[in-house]
Amino acid sequence: MNSYKITSFLENRNMTFWVMFILICLIPLAVWRDYTPANELRYISIADEALRNNTWFSLTNHGEPYSDKPPFYFWLIMLCKLITGEYHMGILILYSLLPALGIAYTMNKWTQGLMSSSSRSTLPLFLITTGYFAGTAMVLRMDMLMVWFIILALYHFHQMYEGKGSFRKHQILMAVYIVLGFYAKAFMGILIPLVSSALFLAFKKELRSFGKYWNWKVWSIIVASFLFWFGMVYVEAGGEYLYNLTVGQTVSRSVKVSVHKRPFYYYLIFLSYGVAPWTLFYLFALIKGVKEKMFRTSAEQLFLIEIVSTFVMLSCFGSKLAIYLVPIFPFMVCLSLIVLEQSHWSKMMAFGVSLPAIATVLAFPAYIYIALILPQYRHPALYIATAILTAGSAWSLVYAWKRKRLLTASILFCCGFLLTAFAGGFSLPKFNSLIGYTELAEKAQQQEKVWQTTGVVTYGVWRAENMDVFFPERLTVVHEADSLITKQQNRLLILNKNKLQENVVDSLVATKPKVEALGDYLFVKF
């Protein structure tokens, strides 16, 4: 196949083709990856506890009030358990992955007329290979839902501004998506659309029309949803929980900053790696677009204002998390593709587009070397994956510099990256024990039956409290060795082998029945 046919094939695929390609490539990662103990397993633990307590608006985490997050995402987790009877990674991951692809579809529809169908069709490829956006799409978190709802709210605001379709319909939908964004991630879901739309109108010297878009109907829907949620929280958990949910969270995150405290410039540093491997491409494209005044339409101006205003607003908050900045990424991708399409080939743009390929073209020989010195990380799937990555990167470099087809070069890299993820995903069963506790818990459940124990105790296991998902209402987490002596009878102990260095523990388990469990862990019968 000659270069013209390759370019024609890649650049003329529609978005549905690329979305299906992405879904297929991510199946192994979505189905076989274990839950991370710190966040993913914790969210499932909270949802499981809510089901046991029959509470839907007030959440608890191991008996302690959990007012850190709104309930919407937990409802989805609970729904999975109610329908299937279990928590399936392949289903739960869709709550992040489908919104990510929904964002691509929304931006594709929004940018009709701003760039060609070829460029618009590559949106999901760029998004799913952009640093923290890709990470957010492939972990169990509520953030991608929030991002989608924010983008949908701004989309309907812009449709109203442009006078497209039914004004009343777009206005109601904007309010609904703001409410859903609020239910997904609290006040971020309303702040970003509110600030972005207000500053956009100010930029257009139409701030007086703000009430036309954000009228009493919109605020009535938003306030009514707030009151409904807060009222249900008060009914279920009382005033103290409600205070922590509203005033407590606001003060701790924005005023006193007791959590996630970061300096003002934190997000500036984060962007250098948060949008990797496309950092330089986005930077060069946005600078070029602003410098050459390429962003003339109202949509492009709204995109740019959303990026700048969200960045500045979040930087002003004392509490900062990298994932809060993800809502600006889709707009960065769109504006960068608009600039790429309108630009002639240049060394600067070619370098920005080809930097990901430059960074990964030696992946295969690098893995061979790593596998030689660290044989525990050898796996046939990883040899195949890194070989694909090297081949895709090399091919991308040829098209970026020799053929001077930057869009084709970027598509080739994205395809190589996704095929690498597909092949590498087959190695997950071997390495899952390094990620989470499912395999360890399954072995413990089997050993429980052999020893006929009545409960499970952990000592030296990181974030073991979230293992109550596997051992509901029979898990005890011990932090002091003395507790092993005084409290545990007819229990299975999951023990980190490193704790055997403690004399009390070593002497205590010396005479107990024990078996090798998995990796650094032992099972001991008390």
**pLDDT tens figures, 303-354:** 999 999 999 999 998 878 888 999 999 999 999 999 999 999 999 999 999 9
pLDDT at 257 exceeding the cut of 70: no
Residues 6+ apart with CB under 8 A from 276: 130, 131
pLDDT at 429 exceeding the cut of 80: yes
Average pLDDT over residues 261-279: 91
56: its two tokens? 């839907």
Q: Is residue 245 helix, strand or coil?
A: helix
CA distances to 46, 88, 148, 260 from 29, rounded to whole Å, are 24, 13, 22, 29
* Model pLDDT for residues 183-223, shown as the tens digit of each residue: 998 788 999 999 999 999 999 999 999 999 999 999 999 99
Q: Is the dihedral of CA 380, 382, 385, 388 positive or negative?
A: negative
- 252-268 as b/e: b if 16+ CB within 10 A: bbeeeeeeeebeeebbe
69: its two tokens? 């997050």
The pLDDT score that the predictor gives to residue 297 is: 96
- 399-430 as b/e: b if 16+ CB within 10 A: bbbeeebbbbbbbbbbbbbbbbbbbbbbbbee
Q: How far apart are CA 162 and CA 77, in angstroms?
A: 38
Q: Is residue 65 helix, strand or coil?
A: strand
370: its two tokens? 């790593």
Q: How far apart are CA 101 and CA 136, in angstroms?
A: 12
The pLDDT score that the predictor gives to residue 362 is: 97
Asked if omega into 277 is within 30° of 0 (cis), the reply is: yes
Average pLDDT over residues 289-314: 96
Q: Name the pLDDT band for 481 (thresholds 50, 70, 90).
A: confident
